[in-house]
Amino acid sequence: MMNAPPISDASLRDFVVWAVMTLGGRIEDTERGWVFAFDEDTHRLSFDGPIDPSDLARRPDLVRLLAQRLARCETLPCAVPRTDIQRVSEFASHLYQPYHVDGGTVRLAGCTLENRFFFRVTNIDASDASVSLSHEWFDAEGNRVEPELQSVLGLEALVCPPRPIPRQAIPRPPKQLGRGDAGDTDTESDVVVAAVAVKWASGKLEFVHESRSVFLEFAGWAQALRRDPGLLPPYVCPETGQQGYDLLRTATGELTVREAVGRCAVSGEWHLLTNLGTCVVSGLQVARELLEVCPISQELLLPQEFTRCQMCGEPVSPLVIAGGRCRACRQMESVEGDDPRIATIVQAFPEARTLGRWKMAETDTTLIAIGTRWWGEWLFVVDRSSQALRRLARRKRWQRRWQPVQGDWPTTE
CB of 389 to Zn ion, least distance (A): 15
Q: Decide: is 329 part of the binding site for Zn ion (CB under 5 A).
A: yes
In this chain, which of 76, 248, 296, 312 binds Zn ion, going by CB under 5 A? 312
- Toward Zn ion, which CB reaches closer, 67 or 393? 393
Pairing of strands 100-101, 105-126: unpaired
Binding mask 75-104 for Zn ion (x = CB under 5 A): ------------------------------
Pick 71 or 326: Cβ nearer Zn ion: 326
- Tell me, by CB under 5 A, how many residues bind Zn ion: 5
In terms of CB distance, is 6 or 324 closer to Zn ion? 324
Applying CB under 5 A, does 367 fall inside the site for Zn ion? no
Figure out which of the listed residues 195, 309, 370, 393 binds Zn ion, where binding follows CB under 5 A. 309
The one-letter amino acid at 401: R
Q: How far is CA 230 from CA 94, 180, 187, 220, 391, in A?
A: 10, 40, 44, 12, 64
Q: How far apart are CA 154 and CA 232, in angstroms?
A: 19
Q: Which of residues 5-44 bind Zn ion (CB under 5 A)?
A: none
Q: How large is the C-alpha radius of gyration of the chain?
A: 42
CA dihedral 39, 45, 47, 53 (to 10 degrees): -80
Which of 88, 335 has the CB closer to Zn ion?
Answer: 335
Q: How far is the CB of 265 from Zn ion (least distance, A)?
A: 29
CB atoms under 10 Å from CB of 132, counted, come to: 17
Nearest-approach distance from CB 368 to Zn ion, in angstroms: 6
Cα separation, 314 vs 329, in Å, equals 10
Among 25, 6, 125, CA closest to 70:
25
Residue 296 CB, nearest distance to Zn ion (Å)?
8
For residue 367, the minimal CB distance to Zn ion (Å) is: 12
Whole-angstrom Cα distance, residue 229 to residue 220?
A: 10
Stretch that binds Zn ion, among 79-87, 238-246, 286-294, 310-318 (CB under 5 A): 310-318
Q: Which of 67, 201, 247, 326 binds Zn ion (CB under 5 A)?
A: 326
Binding of Zn ion at residue 361 (CB under 5 A)?
no
Span near Zn ion by CB under 5 A; candidates 5-13, 58-66, 204-212, 322-330: 322-330
Q: Which residue, 255 or 328, is less far from Zn ion as judged by CB?
A: 328
Rounded Cα gap, residues 146 and 136, in angstroms? 10
Residue 401 CB, nearest approach to Zn ion (Å): 14
Cα 409 to Cα 390: distance, rounded to the nearest angstrom = 13
Burial of 154 (0-12, 13-18, 19+ CB in 10 A): buried
Residue span 266-305 as binding mask against Zn ion, x where in contact by CB under 5 A, dash where not: ----------------------------------------
d(CA 31, CA 169): 40
Minimum CB distance to Zn ion, residue 310 (Å): 8
For Zn ion, which is the closer residue by CB, 272 or 309? 309
Shortest approach of Zn ion to residue 326 CB, angstroms? 3
Nearer to Zn ion, 111 or 309 (CB): 309
Residue closer to Zn ion (CB basis): 223 or 307: 307
CB–CB of 61/179 below 8 Å?
no
Contact with Zn ion (CB under 5 A): which of 264, 311, 367, 370? 311
Residues lying near Zn ion in the complex (CB under 5 A) are found at 309, 311-312, 326, 329
